[in-house]
Structure 1
Amino acid sequence: MDIINLSWIDSEWGRLVKSSLRIALVLLIALVLLQFTRKLVRLFSARAAKRNRSPEDYKRVETLAGVFRRAATVVVIVVAAMLVLGELGFSITPILATAGVAGIAIGFGAQSLVKDFFTGFFLLIENQISEGDVVEAVGKEGFVEEVTLRHIRIRDYDGSVHFIPSGLITVVTNKSRKYAFAVVDVTVARSANVDRILDAMRDVGAQMRRDPVFGAKIIDDIEVAGIEKLEEANMVVRCRIKVLPLKHWSVRREFLRRLKETLEGVDKAGSAGSSK
């Protein structure tokens, strides 16, 4: 005599319960895998960040970690969805066959998508671009907010956001690597005293090198190139200062401000001397 009647397991209700339990188990395993993958990526990022202490390497590690995390999430979700569909009674084989036929049908139309993924892959592996960089690509310049295999997202100076498919990127101008130059072109009258302007540039460059704020941004002494261009009524005098990445804008603005004050001071002194 059976103490516990287990005949209900083979009933319709029993099969429904078993199917529900299997679906719950699949979802639970998927959640565990997602959490495990994210922790694994975070662990990898932390260890890689300790080995690579430079800001450039850190940004690259963070970018690659984000891409791997998103890719792993997609794989886990797709596999879990297929298993759940199979448990619900849908045959996976026709779905895969249909997907294969559809893939062939749209293959020619999806060439640009495949190109995006391949280009994005090499952009990441070759470390051409990372989140946090300031780059110029496809005629757009700005701060890189997101890098995926499919596209990059950059925000320009006025706040506009540009989504650029990776497949369109043939040349990347990265302004965030190792150092930059604050290039200053000053247009003056052709009759101006060139030596006086060059001396003023050197003086301002030396002042900024000693400045506690701007000196921390400057890597090397100012390089005065001299006359860059001669025009009918004007001439262009050029110099440049080697600075830390992304500091060339602020250094250039401050240099121009100080140069203006210096040249105005010299003009006033000259005017006062000539009036005596």
Structure 2
Amino acid sequence: MAEWTQWTTWFYGWAMERLPLLLDLSIRLGFILLLAWGLRLAARRAINLVYAALKNRTDCIEDVKRIDTLVRVARYAASVVVFVIAGGLVLSVLGVSVAPLLATAGVAGIAIGFGAQSLVKDLFAGFFVLLENQIRVGDVVSIAGHDGAVEEVTLRYVRLRDYEGNVHFVPNGEITTVTSRSREFAHAVLDVGVHYRERVDDIFEVMKYVATGLREDEQLGPKILGDLDIAGVQSWDDSTVTLRARLKVVALAQWEVKREFLRRLKAEFDARGHEIPYPQVTLSFARETEKALIDQMSSRLAPRKLSSA
């Protein structure tokens, strides 16, 4: 019992000596965290106000996409800055000197820089991608061998979702060429195959007729920006003559317009009796081979004489 009383007395004295320090430390840490939360909230609010002001000044969809992308990056950068400053203040309160850590971080940064060259490359490439407005959220692009709609653009990577729903994370350092299919306008390229017996000029008239009806459509008409542009005969293939034309449409409408045009063209071909080509093979034999085959078939088809009993 005496030992228990002695231990309790010692713990009480130890707690009373350090309780003010713990309370002071808790208050200071809480104030730093509260301040960091407030700064982060204020930064996001300021960014949202700037975003709303910029968005109200333009009606262009392209500019709105660019503003959305830049706002995402600004929010991310503001959060990183606030967390780094708060982390330094917390270390100072805990008695950890920040100066040696900064010196060590500088030396370590050089060492890590050699091992993280790809990361640094991604960050610099991402900065210029955003600065030059090459890729924006909502664009349909082809980068690093992947096609899809852009869902997110950061300083580190670009997130794409393809037609099948697969998500691709492409590091910015691997982006050497950006092919955008959603800038200002697009062309629905139409390759139509017809039989060699068909008159090309007649097929062109059918294509113009279908394109005219498509422009009068209530849903697709506003998406078409010009008349059918016929390029002519594209190629002579084994069983078909390929004709090429195109329609100028608003961005991202090229696939929808192309599918509907081909559907209507197929129906018009059926109605007018135009033949759709299919693979055909013509066999040619030498005269000697042809004569031998005829004799062989004649001998097989000739009636056999019944042998006498």
TM-score by length of 1: 0.90
Tell me the alpha carbon deviations over residues 243-271 of structure 1, each in whole angstroms, 9 at most, x when there is no partner.
11100101000000000111111117xxx
Q: Which residue of the partner structure matches residue 78 of structure 1? A: 84
The alpha-carbon deviation at position 163 of structure 1 amounts to: 0.3
How far apart, CA to CA, are the structure 1 residues paired with 2:193 and 2:145?
Answer: 27
- Contact 2:113–2:120 (Cα < 8 Å) also in 1: no
The AA in structure 2 aligned to 1:102 is A
> Do structure 1's residue 153 and structure 2's residue 152 form an aligned pair?
no
> Do structure 1's residue 40 and structure 2's residue 50 form an aligned pair?
no
- Identity among equivalent positions (%) equals 49
The AA in structure 1 aligned to 2:256 is S
The alpha-carbon deviation at position 114 of structure 1 amounts to: 1.0
Q: Which residue of the partner structure matches residue 4 of structure 2? A: none
Q: Which residue of the partner structure matches residue 63 of structure 2? A: 57
Q: 2:205 aligns with which of 196, 199, 220?
A: 199
Report SS of the residue matched to 2:223.
Answer: coil
The range that moved more, 13-22 or 73-82, is 13-22
Equivalent positions of 1:1-276 (< 5 A) are 12-267=18-273
How far apart, CA to CA, are the structure 2 residues paired with 1:197 and 1:43?
Answer: 57
How far apart, CA to CA, are the structure 1 residues paired with 2:240 and 2:215?
Answer: 29
Tell me the alpha carbon deviations over residues 86-137 of structure 1, each in whole angstroms, 9 at most, x when there is no partner.
2112222232222222111111111111111111111111111101111100
How far apart, CA to CA, are the structure 2 residues paired with 1:116 and 1:234?
Answer: 48
How far apart, CA to CA, are the structure 1 residues paired with 2:102 and 2:63?
Answer: 40
TM-score by length of 2: 0.81
Q: Which residue of the partner structure matches residue 3 of structure 2? A: none
Where structure 2 has 5 or more consecutive residues not aligned to the other structure, the ranges are 1-15, 275-309
How far apart, CA to CA, are the structure 1 residues paired with 2:58 and 2:219?
Answer: 27
The AA in structure 2 aligned to 1:136 is S
The range that moved more, 190-199 or 254-263, is 190-199
The alpha-carbon deviation at position 12 of structure 1 amounts to: 3.3
Q: How many residues align?
A: 260
Q: Decide which structure has the larger Cα Rg and report it.
A: 2
How far apart, CA to CA, are the structure 2 residues paired with 1:73 and 1:117?
Answer: 17
Q: Which residue of the partner structure matches residue 271 of structure 1? A: none
How far apart, CA to CA, are the structure 1 residues paired with 2:196 and 2:183?
Answer: 37
How far apart, CA to CA, are the structure 2 residues paired with 1:44 and 1:123?
Answer: 21
The AA in structure 2 aligned to 1:117 is L
Which stretches of structure 1, 4 residues or longer, exceed 6 Å deviation after superposition? none
The alpha-carbon deviation at position 53 of structure 1 amounts to: 1.2
The AA in structure 1 aligned to 2:237 is E
The range that moved more, 163-172 or 10-19, is 10-19
Q: Which residue of the partner structure matches residue 3 of structure 1? A: none
Where structure 1 has 5 or more consecutive residues not aligned to the other structure, the ranges are 1-9, 269-276
Report SS of the residue matched to 1:108.
Answer: helix
How far apart, CA to CA, are the structure 2 residues paired with 1:199 and 1:148?
Answer: 49
